[in-house]
């Protein structure tokens, strides 16, 4: 199974016993929309809803931080996601949140995970079938595992300022990166980490929400002087859109891009962390 699958491919594979489909839509409060309610109103047949906000470290004061491995495995089992499943993730979110779940599943040990190109919007635009309501699923075993090589914390990012061992790419908008726009979170300074490069996650997509071609994605990284053959860490506002850049890199052959989970909501909130304002 490819990392990125088409609606044609999914339609042909639908109903196979090892295939699992997940809706990973998440909205910000400003969107004034309920991802779960919209899922129950209409979703791809056979899909289950993965609540990224609930399946997080709810003890943290930071948003949507990675949950303990045991919690993640438990939620996956309850959704019928098990060892050996082929998993296709989609979303209907302006945040392209299927990439966040792709990254989480990869980190927590799922081996075959793909993203549906174009998501629910493309599926609907092609007048493909939908269903509504809450799905009934059978529990399956999901092994507890976590590959911490795919995640970075604040201390590791601080150390990287000294060593410069890893390139850092920021998925936020250019206005938030430069500090021209205030951060939407109270108490979080505008700007970016010293030495980081800015690649807004939205630039990875065509106007219809499908992913840009590998050549176009490579040109985006090349334009910033990022070498995809070398270690790379992606960051953003709260860890939701950074995985878009990790997935783009994976499409180009680098499947080991790490994500700074706390991202700017953590870094910019600390008065001790250096912040650069400007391009």
Q: Which among 52, 236, 240, 242 is annotated as catalytic?
A: 236
Q: Report the alpha-carbon distance of residue 20 to residue 126 in Å, rounded.
A: 21
Q: Report the alpha-carbon distance of residue 192 to residue 190 in Å, rounded.
A: 7
Q: Report the alpha-carbon distance of residue 46 to residue 182 in Å, rounded.
A: 41
Residue the block writes with tokens 């206005």: 175
Burial zone of 130 (CB within 10 Å; 0-12 exposed, 13-18 middle, 19+ buried): middle
Question: How many residues make up the chain in this entry?
Answer: 279
Rounded to 10 degrees, the C-alpha dihedral 182/186/192/198 comes to -60
Q: Is 236 a catalytic residue?
A: yes
Helices 214-223 and 242-251, axial angle in degrees (round to 10): 120
Of 237, 18, 209, 256, the closest CA to residue 115 belongs to 209
Residue the block writes with tokens 């594979």: 13
Q: Report the alpha-carbon distance of residue 202 to residue 245 in Å, rounded.
A: 10
Q: 187: Cβ–Cβ under 8 A, 6 or more apart, which residues?
A: 269
DSSP letter for 62, please.
Answer: S
- For residue 255, the SS3 value is coil
The residues carrying an active-site annotation are: 236
């Amino acid at each position: 199974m490819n990392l990125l699958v088409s609606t044609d491919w999914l339609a042909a594979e639908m109903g196979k016993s090892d295939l699992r489909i997940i809706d990973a839509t998440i909205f910000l409060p400003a969107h004034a929309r309920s991802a779960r309610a919209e899922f129950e109103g209409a979703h791809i047949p056979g899909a289950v809803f993965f609540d990224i906000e609930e399946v997080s470290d709810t003890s943290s004061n930071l948003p949507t931080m990675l949950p303990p491995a045991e919690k993640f495995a438990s939620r996956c089992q309850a959704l019928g996601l098990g060892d050996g499943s082929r998993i296709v993730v989609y979303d209907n979110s302006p945040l392209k949140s299927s990439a966040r779940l792709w990254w989480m599943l990869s980190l927590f040990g799922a081996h075959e995970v793909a993203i549906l190109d174009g998501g629910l919007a493309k599926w609907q635009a092609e007048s493909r079938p939908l269903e509504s309501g809450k799905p009934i699923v059978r529990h399956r075993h999901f092994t507890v595992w976590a590959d911490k090589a795919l995640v970075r914390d604040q201390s590791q990012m601080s150390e990287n300022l000294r060593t410069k061992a890893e390139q850092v790419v920021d998925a936020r908008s250019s206005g938030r990166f430069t500090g021209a726009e205030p951060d939407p979170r109270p108490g979080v300074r505008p700007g970016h980490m010293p030495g980081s490069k800015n690649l807004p996650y939205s630039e990875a997509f065509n106007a219809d929400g499908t992913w840009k071609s590998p050549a176009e994605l490579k040109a985006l990284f090349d334009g910033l002087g990022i070498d995809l053959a070398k270690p790379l860490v992606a960051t953003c506002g709260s860890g939701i859109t950074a995985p878009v850049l990790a997935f783009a890199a994976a499409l180009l052959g680098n499947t080991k891009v790490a994500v700074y989970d706390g991202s700017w909501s953590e870094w910019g909130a600390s008065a001790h962390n250096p912040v650069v304002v400007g391009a």
